[in-house]
Structure 1
């Protein structure tokens, strides 16, 4: 999947890779409720590092010092299947060095501003208008207010959805997102969209 961006269409925000999905037609939405609100966090992206082998030995992944953060990101081993020592025990009030274990991209993330308790439901389906696989995230009333305020103040910046210290996706905000619902579309099949929706909800 390539870079993800957020677009605003009427009252619904769309997070899209800009690539056509492989599945077309109609589908009944597959819904998931967040299982553990303490495990899902929305964190602003401070820096993004390309995939690559770990270098160095820095281990403080929650430092507030930018130089230490960069060193920790370079030293972090993002290989698939490798256990994460934090594994959901990160402090949401502090920065976090993490990665997307599918793409191998490493991130330096700011403290979280939304959590799983702010998400009402996550659904996956095929949009009959575009033929693209769509993941819809519905926020609670409080979550929708925070999301609208944050996106309105951070246009052009990335936000990471992090589950148990692992980045699931990190889109870029293109506009303020109001209305309480965000949609993710991209270069994935419907089963892949359903898996991402399931991951966002906590598995």
Structure 2
């Protein structure tokens, strides 16, 4: 299971073309997104520390802040526990979810990108730092949406959500306009490879 020592961050990859076809072949540590319907990019509205579930189950897609807090309190983020909402969340509504590897709970906004906007995902070592990173390459349409969203949300977090669960929620370091993004953090190459695999849909 993934465990990261520090908050992951998103950075632009220098020298990448804005026009990305989505047909590039992945490397040995790369994965093509085959089904883009389950992966969603959602803004993080609130990050909550891990806590045991408390209270009755509540609506995890309510727009009411009080209902969101109640849903977060009641949400059970234990690993291996099935999610009754898995794959059935409405992308147009907010979502209360969690990262089951860390137990962190999140209140997320409506989705603004999907896996259909991603060409491929890979894991590799950054030649400048020697650290493992995940690269995400967007389609041409995804590049435009991503550039606009990251430009307006520097310093904020974005959650990559697969079947209603948060895979990672890195922080935006700058506007990302070149069509490819790197997620960097304190993880090993095998952990980065697993995350890339999960982002691509498993």
TM-score (norm. length: structure 2) = 0.89
C-alpha distance in 2 between matches for 1:199 and 1:62: 23
User: In 2, Cα distance between the equivalents of 1:10 and 1:198?
Assistant: 23
Deviation, 1:122, is: 0.2
Aligned pairs for 1:115-134 (under 5 A) are 115-134=114-133
* CA apart distance, 1:58: 3.5
Shift of 1:7: 3.5
Alignment of 1:13-28 (within 5 A): none
Deviations 1:32-58 (A, max 9, x none): 011211000000011111001011113
Q: Which stretches in structure 1 are left out of the alignment for 5+ residues?
A: 13-27
1:157-176 equivalent positions in 2, closer than 5 A:
157-176=156-175
**Which segments of 5 or more consecutive residues in structure 2 lack a partner in the other structure?**
17-26
Q: What is residue 107 of structure 1 aligned with on the other side?
A: 106
Map 1:120-199 onto structure 2 (within 5 A). 120-199=119-198
Q: Give the TM-score of the pair, scaled to structure 1.
A: 0.89
> Structure 2: how far apart are the matches of 1:193 and 1:91?
28
The residue aligned with 1:94 is 93
CA contact (8 A) 1:29 1:125 kept: no
Contact residue 11 and residue 181 of structure 2 kept, 8 A = no
Q: CA RMSD in A?
A: 1.3
2:123, 2:130 → 1: CA distance? 13
Query: Which residue of structure 1 lines up, in the alignment, with residue 33 of structure 2?
Result: 34
**Contact 1:95/1:111 (<8 A) preserved:** yes
- 1 CA distance for matches of 2:171 and 2:124? 22
Across the two proteins, how many residue pairs are aligned to each other?
188
